[in-house]
Amino acid sequence: MTVTLSETEVRTCEACWIKPVTASRAVDDGQRDLLCGDCAEGQAPRRVDLFPPLGIYKLTARRIKMGKHSSGPPKSPPDQGPALPSPPPTPTPGRPPV
């Protein structure tokens, strides 16, 4: 099987990173995985996406939607400290507030 590669495509297998590309596998998003013969026969997955659609390593649309901790909107800290004085103190002229 002969695989035609463009100038920008990798020449090393995307699964083992050792052998040269000799096979390709179509993926559902219209692109292809470039693999060596052994990895293609063994259905080996690609090891990483160096430049995914968003252009940042390991950053996916799902991760952006979930947020950093995926626990919902931000929450107040458990101990917020003492309450602010009511009414607020008046500033003293000529001296910075402390």
Query: Using one digit for the tens of pLDDT, what is the confidence trace for 73-96?
Result: 667 778 878 888 888 877 777 777
Q: What range does the domain containing 59 cover? A: 23-66
Question: What is the number of other CB atoms lying within 10 angstroms of the CB of residue 61?
Answer: 10
Top-confidence residue, 1 or 5: 5
Q: Is the peptide bond before 96 cis (omega within 30 degrees of 0)?
A: no
19 pLDDT tier (thresholds 50, 70, 90)? very high
**Residue 31 located in a structural domain:** yes
pLDDT of residue 58: 58
Position 52 pLDDT exceeds 70? no
Give the helix/strand (H/E) hosting 33: strand 32-35
DSSP symbol at 42: T
Domain membership flag for residue 27: yes
CA distance 65 to 49: 19
98 within some domain: no
For 20-42, what is the mean pLDDT? 87
Q: Which residues contact 18 (CB under 8 A, 6 or more apart)?
A: 12, 36
Residue 90 lies in a domain: no
